[in-house]
Amino acid sequence: MPTLVNYCGDDELYHGSSLDLGRLYTIGSNIDVYYPPTKRARITAPFIFDRIQDRKPSIEVLPDECLFEIFRRLPSAKERTSCACVSKQWLMLLSSICKAEIERNTSFGDIENISSNEDQDIEGDGYLTRCLEGKKATDVRLAAIAVGTSGRGGLGKLSIRGSNSVRGVTNHGLSAVAHGCPSLRSLSLWNVSSIEDEGMSHIAKGCHMLEKLDLCQSSSITNKGLIAIAEDCPNLTTLNIESCSKIGNEGLQAIARFCPKLHSISIKDCPLVGDHGLSSLLSSASELSRVKLQALNITDFSLAVIGHYGKAITNLVLCGLKNVTERGFWVMGVAQGLQKLVSFSVTSCGGVTDASIEAMGKGCTNLKQMCLRKCCFVSDSGLVSFTKAAGSLESLQLEECNRVTQSGIIGALSNIKTKLKSFTLVKCMGIKDIDVEVSMLSPCESLRSLSIQNCPGFGSASMALVGKLCPQIQNVDLTGLYGITDAGLLPLLENSTAGLVNMNLTGCWNLTDNIVSALARLHGGTLESLNLDGCWKITDASLLAIAHNCLLLNDLDVSKCAITDAGIAVLSGARQLSLQVLSLSGCSEVSSKSVPFLTKLGQTLLGLNLQSCNSIGSSTIELLMENLWRCDILA
């Protein structure tokens, strides 16, 4: 039979299909049909076309229940993914099918005998990672991820940061993930206020393998959502909660009851979390090894619980605990429960005093790393007592501890002279430059790394003293010590018998070419990295010394130094040098004449910084970029 001409409706009429025009004639009386012997029918039927155009496309005719039964009988993930591309309706429907609901015994041929990897599902072990940020975070994208990853190893890690302001992620999006991603092991939700307890319940019911949960600024999730996770996700090992105003003690108590494998917790700025919830969690989680508590309304009681029950804790971070007093830290130390503690960091806690820090040193016998930030009540006496008690200490960092002076530093280095490997001072304003006789002090033979940053009172006398006490030093960072001179730094260079490897002198603007020449002469055989950023007294003479003496140097920063084209020429002529990173930022006397020398250096360079080199034109920069195509050039 002839087919309709210029038909524009649904897709039920395929090429070569026929239509019973007699049936159409009975629908209305104003139809003019002409039957040429061998041509298609010509129809003038406005009424009929109105009726046909009002009909839904066939893609929307079948109810969801029928589509659901069809989709779950598709033999492979590849075919289900193809169907998901047809329409948003099909995508959302496919995302609602649980893996357990997919029919394996299909009637579409002998599917079970197909061995091709393209036509078989890969059982999800959670190999894939997906991250949605900002405008990309929508329910439709989550549904697409859930359907698309099901046959490609399974989604193992999902991170959602922010949300689309118009079509943001909701509980429906997490429901799709829960249905399609049973292998999910890590879920991170940052600043997604539209997700509520219902979404967390979906995840709990569908993702029993969940091991890590990270909630940040999730203001709509309450204890109910966390309880659901606790009850259905017994494999949870890591829990991070930050700025969740509706999560409190009840949620933590549920985690304590149902998650015996928990080994890491981080709780920050949650006003409803108190001693009851935290103590339940700390006393029940026998495998808990990493604990971070910040800006919480807890008291001495919680720290006492840590001291008694934290037998497995190896890493402990405490920040901004305003209600914890000296007694809490003291009890935590004397309780003798933190025998496995290796790393301890305390920031802005008024309860850290000389007495409490000494107790912690005595109670944490295996402590290797200690960091004190903004502990304004710790003085020389407490520091010396602590280092004397903590016999296993390998790394000590003090930041903004303004009661610590040069005397405390010398005493600490003398007490831990056989174990300490790294010592760091940052913005400790109490240190003043005084001359001390060091002939009676034993050197700290074990120290390898020394970092003293932005301590304005730390001058040449202090530097000379530290240099004599640390003969095995290899890594030195003296950022911002504008008070030290060549004479102050020279003892450190002369007494270092191990050979300096990394030297950072950023902002030490009193140093001259003389000290760089001494450094190159004494340690040129071991020096690998040298930073002279902001040392404006450094000239081409330093580059000459480096070119003649440094054999292993691969990273050189002479930004804002008095370097000229002549210095770059000398540097490029050093056959033994194989520089990988060179920074000339702010060297205004380096001009386009240095292009041949930079090109020669570019044979080994991976990074070149020419920012604020105003004497080098843009065309020259473009030429360098073309010639040094393997090198990352900043200009």
pLDDT mean values, one per 10 residues, the chain (635 residues): 37 35 37 46 49 57 62 62 59 58 44 34 59 83 77 80 78 87 92 93 94 95 97 96 96 96 97 96 94 97 96 97 97 95 97 96 95 96 95 95 92 86 95 72 87 93 86 95 93 93 97 97 97 97 96 96 96 93 96 94 94 92 91 92
Helices (H), 390-475: 406-415, 460-469
Name the token pair of 534: 């902001």
Nearest to 380 by CA among 349, 413, 351: 413
- Going by C-alpha positions, the residue among 337, 275, 270 that lies closest to residue 306 is 337
Strands 422-426 and 315-319: unpaired
Q: Which residue has the tokens 């399609």?
A: 180
For domain 499-634, the CATH class is alpha beta
Common-topology check for domains 62-96 and 499-634: no
Beta strands 264-268 and 238-242 are: parallel
Give this prediction's pTM.
0.80
pLDDT for 115: 33
**Cα dihedral across residues 422, 554, 559, 634: positive or negative:** negative
| Secondary structure (3-state) at 239 | strand
Q: What fold, for 62-96?
A: Monooxygenase (1.20.1280)
Whole-number pLDDT of residue 69: 65
Q: What is the pLDDT of residue 144?
A: 79
Q: Closest by alpha carbon to 98, among 29, 170, 183?
A: 183
Residue 194 to residues 139, 198, 269, 617, Cα–Cα distance (Å):
11, 11, 20, 52
What's the angle, vertex CA 489, arms to CA 488 and CA 492, rounded to 5?
115
- Beta 607-609 vs 632-634: how paired, if at all? parallel
Could you give phi then psi for residue 71, rounded to 5 degrees?
-65, -40
Give the model's pLDDT for residue 211.
Answer: 96
Q: Which amino acid is at 169?
A: V
- What the block records as the tokens of 619 is 């065309």
Q: In terms of Cα–Cα distance, which of 528, 530, 423, 433 is closest to 485?
A: 433
DSSP 524-588: TTT--EEE-TT-TT--HHHHHHHHHH-SS--EEE-TTS---HHHHHHHHT-TT---SEEE-TT-T
In the chain, domain spans: 62-96, 499-634
Question: How are the residues of the chain apportioned to helix, strand and coil, as percentages rounded to the nearest 5?
Answer: 35, 15, 50
Whole-number Å distance between alpha carbons of 566 and 562? 11
